[in-house]
Structure 1
Amino acid sequence: MGHGGDVIQELTTDHREVDDLFNQFDDAAPGSPDRKRLVDAITIELVQHSVAEEMHLYPAVREHLKGGDALADKELADHGRVERLLKNLEALDADDSVFDATVRELRDEVTGHVDDEENNLFTQLRTHVHQQVLDRLGEQVREAKKTAPTRPHPAAPSTPPANKALAPGLGLVDRARDYVTGRGQ
């Protein structure tokens, strides 16, 4: 499954890519630099994915779904927990005594979030939102990921309009830091 299509297809592709990165992490030797590199890749994918959802998907959920405010608030709370774990991992080396346990906790959080999104939220979107809206959201999400941050920023706003104003600037700074350090390359 490649990127493209409506918002559900786009985000589902992201989910499978993160699953694959977690599987690669499992296959890497404990304490190895490959594990840290893979956590960096997981972080980049999750942060860009989350920011794009927060900018475009969750406002649409609030607008188009009955009970959308509660659904969006739950998803944002999930993102907050994941982002705090990512921030913790950012400061750890692969041979740190809590590194693997923190990755397991992250994977559990992400898996629960993905299961809920794919089996609940995406089903409701497919049923209640016009295909043209889903297609437009897919394009908006793809565009947002291009300028989204690549590092966790737990204190950054997660709802519009503040997140839409700040995310591209944070993304630029993150990409500059990544370029200098070689992270994610």
Structure 2
Amino acid sequence: MPWHGGTVIEELTSDHREVERLFARIEELPPSSPERRVCADRAVSRLMRHSSAEEAFLYPAVREHVPDGDALADKEIADHAAVERLAAALDGLPAGHPDLDRALTELIREVRAHVADEENRLFPLLAAEVSEEQLVFLGDKVRITLTRAPLRPHPSAPHSPAAHKVLGPVLRIADRLRDAVPGQGRRPPGEA
């Protein structure tokens, strides 16, 4: 996973762009393409790590510093829960399965709306209230979390900063073990 450096906003925006590249690739591939399934798995893995990092560090900062931050953070966490449920629905569906195509279309739509909201509303509000030094500090925390966060959806896991910090590494180990079991893992080569 590349380390972009800089602020939490730069790090998360860069992550958004990587997910969008994967979505664009998914959309250009035919539904029966095995590569489409691989890209979907990569996108889900990145989204799960990304969500965990945001919930552990970004949203607590929003709650603390941004006016009406609790409502904003709650809305973003609800968006994450919806995306996680959609991502879980993809699990086990082979390339070309009609349910896979429907779930992917909905997942892409939900994520794009969430990203637009964060980048156009949430990030500017946070940047207006938090110093550059604090944004860089949060960026460092997010980068570390991305290396320890779960790789798969866990919709029943709690969505709190403490849960992400404590359970994230444990769930990541469970995800890696699942990926090592023949017939269970679909993690593409090179995804850590």
How far apart are 1:27 and its partner, in Å?
A: 2.0
Q: TM-score, normalised by structure 1?
A: 0.95
| Separation (CA, whole Å) in 1 of partners of 2:66 and 2:95 | 42
Query: Structure 2 matches for 1:57-72, cutoff 5 A?
Result: 57-72=58-73
The letter of the residue matching 2:119 is: E
1:111-163 deviation per Cα after TM superposition (whole angstroms, max 9, x unaligned): 10000000000001111111111000000000001010000000111113223
SS of the equivalent of 1:108 reads helix
Contact 2:41–2:186 (CA under 8 A) maintained in structure 1: no
| Separation (CA, whole Å) in 1 of partners of 2:108 and 2:186 | 25
Moved over 6 A (4+): none
How far apart are 1:175 and its partner, in Å?
A: 2.0
| Separation (CA, whole Å) in 1 of partners of 2:163 and 2:45 | 21
SS of the equivalent of 1:168 reads helix
1:79–1:52 CA distance, 2 compared to 1 (3 A): same
| Separation (CA, whole Å) in 1 of partners of 2:20 and 2:164 | 26
List alignment gaps of at least 5 residues for structure 1: none
Query: Structure 2 matches for 1:40-119, cutoff 5 A?
Result: 40-119=41-120
Contact 1:18–1:45 (CA under 8 A) maintained in structure 2: yes
The letter of the residue matching 1:184 is: P
How far apart are 1:182 and its partner, in Å?
A: 5.5
How far apart are 1:29 and its partner, in Å?
A: 2.2
The letter of the residue matching 1:95 is: G
How far apart are 1:179 and its partner, in Å?
A: 4.1
Q: TM-score, normalised by structure 2?
A: 0.92
Contact 1:50–1:79 (CA under 8 A) maintained in structure 2: yes
Q: CA RMSD in A?
A: 1.4
| 2:5 aligned partner | 4
| Separation (CA, whole Å) in 2 of partners of 1:29 and 1:11 | 29
Count the aligned residue pairs. Answer: 185
| Separation (CA, whole Å) in 2 of partners of 1:93 and 1:151 | 16
Contact 2:51–2:80 (CA under 8 A) maintained in structure 1: yes
Query: Structure 2 matches for 1:142-153, cutoff 5 A?
Result: 142-153=143-154
Contact 1:6–1:134 (CA under 8 A) maintained in structure 2: yes
Amino-acid identity (%): 50
